[in-house]
Amino acid sequence: MAQKQLTSTEDLNQFVAETGKRLLFKHSTTCPISATAYSEFQSFLQEQSVPAAVIHVIEDRPVSNAVAERFGIKHESPQIFLLDDGQVKWHTSHWKITKDSITEAVKA
């Protein structure tokens, strides 16, 4: 399933307001660790049908900051969140973002 790119706080609010499980990935387009994590995220999405969105943290800094403020979770990059009915059920960052870790979180 393809993911949306969130470029405004309105996009973020709409994505979070939707019901059910969904993944939100904060991606730094200049970081090699983020590139690896993003590849794991994409690999997961090729096999699983979960609504997903990505925020480019450098290009869309206000949206990235809004995530940290909204959920009270310190900003990191790369960072992934599993939302369920608008609430964070799981999150992790950096090398812990793997296809397997995402799969386990979504199943839980």
Alpha carbon distance 32, 61 (integer Å): 19
Domain residue limits at 13: 4-107
Instruction: Render pLDDT for 52-68 as a digit per residue (tens, 0 to 9).
Output: 999 999 999 999 999 99
73: CATH? 3.40.30.10
pLDDT at residue 75 in the model: 93
Mean pLDDT of 31-44: 97
**β-strands 21-27, 52-56: how paired?**
parallel
Q: Are 65 and 75 in contact, with CB atoms under 8 Å apart?
A: yes
User: CA–CA separation, 45 vs 53, rounded Å?
Assistant: 11
Q: For residue range 64-102, what is the model confidence (pLDDT) as tens digits? A: 999 999 999 999 999 999 999 999 999 999 999 999 999
Return the amino acid letter for 25: F
Task: Please identify which residue in the block is written with the tokens 């399933």.
Answer: 1
Q: Return the axis-axis angle of helices 61-71 and 9-17, rounded to nearest 10°.
A: 40
Q: With a cut of 90, say whether residue 38 has pLDDT above it.
A: yes
Q: Is the pLDDT of residue 1 over 60?
A: no
Q: By C-alpha distance, which of 1, 47, 57, 49 is closest to 25? A: 57
Neighbours of 59 (CB within 10 A): 13
pLDDT (0 to 100) of residue 51: 96
Count structural domains, the chain: 1
